[in-house]
Amino acid sequence: MNWGRAKTILIIMFLTVDIFLLCVLLQTRSDYEQLPKETVEKTVQILQDKGIKIQTETVPRQRTKNQNIVLKNYFSNPAQAAELMLGICEVKLSDDENHEYLFENEEATLKVKDTFFTYTSKKKVMPYGSGEKTDTKIVQENLKKLGFKANEFTVLQEQNSSGLFEGRIIPLYNGKKICGISMNVKADKEGILSLEGHWFSSAEAESYGNEPLLDITAVLVNVIYRNDQWPKSVEAIESCFYTSGDYLESREISATPIYVITDQSGHQKYFDARVGNEIE
Amino acid sequence: MLKKYLKNLLLFFSVLLMFFLAGQIWFGSYFLPDGYSYITSSIHSHIINPIQKWFDKGHEAGFSQNMKVLLKPNKIVLNHSGNRVMIQNGHPDFEKVRSFSDEFIYKVLTGEYSVRIKETISTDTYHSLLKGKTIYVDYGKDCDFRLFSSTLCDQSSNLLSEDISIVSGYIIGLHDSVMNDVSLYITDKKSNTAYRYIIEMNKNALDAQLQEYLAGASTGNILSYSFELNFHKEQENSASKVLFDPLILLDLMPSEIPSVQMLGTEEEHRSRFEEMTEDVLEVFSINSRTMRRYTDLENARVFVENNATLTMYPNGRLEYQTVQGSRGLDISNSTDRTNYDVSRAMADSVDFVAALCSYMPETYFEHLQISSGLVSQTERQTSYKLSFDYCVNGVPVRWQTEDGYHAAIEMEVTEGYLTSYRHCLWGYKAYEGERQQCLPLLTAADQLVNTLHNGTEPLHIETADYCYVVEEAGAVVPKWYGRVDGVERIFE
């Protein structure tokens, strides 16, 4: 018996089987990570039949992981936060009992009450001229200088108000927005003038890989049973995280996965991605 | 040669890769959506857990077994020929004497020892018995007789049930008569009637046993009942400022009890607390994945549910509180809520506490003792406040907080629903080498009079025992605790 030839045949056979199995595995994974196109189309059809305007492209097909994001309060240790934001500074007030603090240097002041913070710059205001477009990049650059990591925040609702940039900053985790936490920013064309609100940084993700989230199609189908006839049209659907505003005075909180549906007028509603309920 | 090796290697790896890929497809497939955890959880639930149950003789043994651990006598007083000894849990002979007295009452309750004569006796006679050859078993709290009987002999009704409703202890009497019989004395606390049951049994064997225990347990201190010193009633010629219950034992000399310290370090406790979080949440049916959980600025972890809040404090305390108007956590073993009496409340509570303690070191549950009274105050009572003490050598450890002194576990159950629960999970142990002095009760009572006496009516000390108090700063000091004019107090 020619063992050399037999081995060659076996190698070819096994490699063929391996390639086949790899294809099956990749296909299975892909099916698991993405919603079937037919399901999305059928869902869109049902909604359209009920008079809700929606495009197939609006529905994200990518399935999201079931995980909680543990968030740590940026201002639970005010001295540490002040060092990050102001650098060397003077402690003007440090009342541990009432959790009230005031830090100051030549450039700015930082006030912390419980975990609500107010950062105020002492720089001269340089407003945008009429017709001049506000620049988000300036805000992003300056936030980085204040110690906020670029991939952990995004700027929303920016507007020009009397020559000043005004907007809302919310945290991100792996590119996904964390709703319920925000800080308001005011900036001129040179830098940040004021910043206030609550801020949390993501510490870790608790994954529940064995329990998939509800598909967005299931949430969308439920929308047709609403009594308030909302929405007339679905403009955008986003997969995000959410934490309740009730717990912002805490040292550590967790954010859970949600779907955010935006209607034609920009109005948003949050839906728990685990059970499909609307979050009031 | 090299080509041959390469072929072998390639063949080996291609076979290996095939198995790996097949495994990935199989375990991540439609058939096994949970992957490997499906197999491990199946093995656990169908094979390991049933086998474990066979060998587990711990505190998951059922209500009656758990009650035997949780309802022990507060003290057993042996009296024979002018010699008197008080034995408490932790004493080397306690378990021996307790099982001896348990066996006696078990045989009476189950009818193994037949009752020859039953008669009622006066309270004074009941008290005077304690000067003779007796074993006085004192539970230190009122207990529903059906519950008491279920605990001791697994029968809620028996020969004594028609006489006794509420019991707090009993006396085994070996009177000095020539008759070879033994008497069981029990006072029904509801009607305040004392009963004597003359039991047919060999007195001599019991007498020899009692003498043997006394010989080994003598402490040297002379103990007197308050009725022997006439401290239980007002004197004719002088007004008393304080009166003691007749059965309170008074030691006129200062005594010493071992010092108590926390079991392990605070850090160890914290990490164990951290480890058991998931299990605690499961016991309280709280979803650990909820967004409504947070760590507050004092580092307490809070889990908010629609109907309740569970808070785990960094100092080892656990608090569960339902919101107003909510029924609370269903801990009942039955769906029928009618006639929810103290026995059912206790059964549900003990099962719940045992379930929670099964996630803690085994010794913790063994240190627990029921400290609240086990009686229904009214016929229609459906809500019960129950408490369990963590005891070191039979002496309870109480925790001092801003709002008073607390037992290790305090819970409220309404018709099978847990409405509030407070539990200190830290354990303590005694250091025999280090002893702390305790003031005599009479000295402590003097100080109590200085604080509470209003100048007219005398204070009535109904119960009095030692306890350890964990002060807010963390120090553990011995003090007296008891019921004074119906109110639980700690005094020194």
Flag whether B149 is in a domain. Answer: yes
Is residue B275 very low, low, confident or very high in pLDDT (cuts 50, 70, 90)?
confident
A254 with A233, same domain: the answer is yes
Comparing A115-119, B9-13, B48-52, the range with the smallest average pLDDT is B48-52
Closest chain A CA to residue B290 = A256
- Per-residue confidence at B57, pLDDT binned at 50, 70, 90? very low
**ipTM of the complex model:** 0.72
Domain assignment of residue B155, yes or no? yes
**Are A233 and A187 in a shared domain?**
no
H-state helical runs in B89-237: 94-109, 123-129, 145-153, 203-217
Number of domains in chain A: 2
- Looking at residue B54, its pLDDT comes to 64
Question: Do A98 and A174 share a structural domain?
Answer: yes
Q: Do both B310 and B422 map to the same domain?
A: yes
B213/B284 same-domain check: no
Å between A257 CA and nearest CA of chain B? 9
* A191/A106 same-domain check: yes
The 8-class DSSP code of residue A152 comes to: G
Nearest to B291 among A8, A17, A244 (CB): A244
- Both structure tokens of A144: 């980085």
Question: Would you state the pLDDT for residue B389?
Answer: 94
Q: Report d(CA B13, CA A2) in Å as an integer.
A: 21
Whether residue B330 is found in the same domain as residue B400: yes
Asked if B196 and B286 sit in the same domain, the reply is: no
pLDDT at B59: 44
Q: Are residues B206 and B319 in the same domain?
A: no
Question: Which residues of chain B does A242 touch, with a Cβ-Cβ cutoff of 8 Å?
Answer: 291
Shared domain for B188 and B91, answered yes or no, is yes
Residue A26 inside a domain? The answer is: no
Q: Do the domain assignments include residue A79?
A: yes
Same domain, B111 and B207: yes
Q: Assign residue A259 the CATH number of its domain.
A: 2.40.128
Within-domain flag for A4: no
Residue B212 lies in a domain: yes
Strands in chain A per DSSP E:
67-73, 90-95, 100-104, 108-113, 116-121, 153-161, 164-173, 176-179, 183-187, 192-197, 200-207, 234-242, 252-263, 268-272, 278-279
Q: Looking at the complex, does the CB of residue B42 fall below 8 Å from at least one CB of chain A?
A: no
The shortest CB-CB distance from B18 to any of A17, A99, A251 is to: A17
Does residue B205 share a domain with residue B268? Answer: no
Which residues of chain B does A76 touch, with a Cβ-Cβ cutoff of 8 Å?
A: 297
Sign of the dihedral defined by the CA atoms of residues B241, B242, B243, B249, in that order: negative
* pLDDT band for position B217 (cuts 50, 70, 90): low
Contact residues of A toward B, CB < 8 A: 4, 7-8, 10-11, 14-15, 17-18, 21-22, 24-25, 28-29, 32, 68, 76, 99, 114-115, 206, 208, 210, 242-244, 246-247, 249-256, 274
SS3 A31: helix
More confident residue, B473 or B22: B22
| Cβ <8 Å between A25 and B289 | no
- How many angstroms separate the CA atoms of A55 and A45, rounded? 9
Q: Which of A156, A187, A202 is the last residue of a domain?
A: A202
Chain B hits for A249, Cβ within 8 Å:
296-297
Closest CA–CA distance from residue B299 to any residue of chain A (Å): 7
Q: Does any domain span residue A21? A: no
Cβ within 8 Å of A, B 295-324: 295-297, 299, 302
* A17 lies in some domain: no
Q: Please name the residue of chain B whose CA is at the shortest distance from the CA of residue A29.
A: B28
| Residue B44: predicted pLDDT | 66
Closest CB to A76 among B10, B293, B297: B297
Which of A188-202, B258-272, B378-392 has the lowest average pLDDT?
A: B258-272
Domain boundary (A181, A202, A223) is at A202
**Pair type for strands A278-279 and B115-121:** unpaired
B466 falls within a domain: no
Same domain, A57 and A96: no
pTM of the model: 0.77
Q: Domain end: A172, A202, A232, which one?
A: A202
Q: pLDDT in tens for each of the 280 residues of chain A? A: 688 888 899 999 999 999 999 999 888 877 778 888 999 999 999 999 999 999 999 999 988 888 999 999 999 889 999 999 999 999 999 998 888 999 999 999 999 998 899 999 999 999 988 888 888 899 999 999 999 998 999 999 888 888 999 999 999 999 999 999 999 999 998 899 999 999 999 888 888 877 788 999 999 999 999 988 899 999 999 999 999 888 898 999 999 999 999 999 999 999 999 989 898 7
Within-domain flag for A25: no
Q: Are A220 and A49 in contact (CB under 8 A)?
A: no
Domain membership of residue B390 as a residue range = 262-430
Is B309 contained in some domain? yes
- Number of domains forming the structure of chain B: 2
Q: Which domain holds residue A123?
A: 73-202
pLDDT at B58: 45
Q: Are B269 and B207 found together in one domain? A: no
Q: Determine, for residues B15 and A24 on separate chains, whether the beta-carbon distance falls below 8 Å.
A: no
Question: Three-state DSSP class for A269?
Answer: strand
Q: Is the pLDDT of residue B251 over 90?
A: no
pLDDT on residue B290: 74
The CA-based angle B149-B154-B158, given to 5 degrees, is 50
* Position A44 in a domain: yes
CA distances from B231 to A201, B171, B227, B405 (A): 67, 22, 6, 28
**Stretch B147-157: mean pLDDT, rounded?**
87
Same domain assignment for residues A65 and A87: no
CA distances from B351 to B173, B355, B387, B412, B416 (A): 35, 6, 14, 14, 12
Q: Measured on CA atoms in the order A46, A49, A51, A54, is the torsion positive or negative?
A: positive
Q: Is residue A102 located within the same domain as residue A191?
A: yes
Three-class SS of residue A5? helix
> Is residue A138 domain-shared with residue A52, that is, in the same domain?
no
What is d(CA B115, CA B185) in angstroms, rounded to the nearest whole number? 12
What does the pLDDT read at residue B319? 94
What CATH number does residue B389 fall under?
3.30.310.160
Same domain membership, residue A232 and residue A253? yes
Tell me how far apart the alpha carbons of residues B464 and B74 are, in angstroms, rounded to a whole number: 11
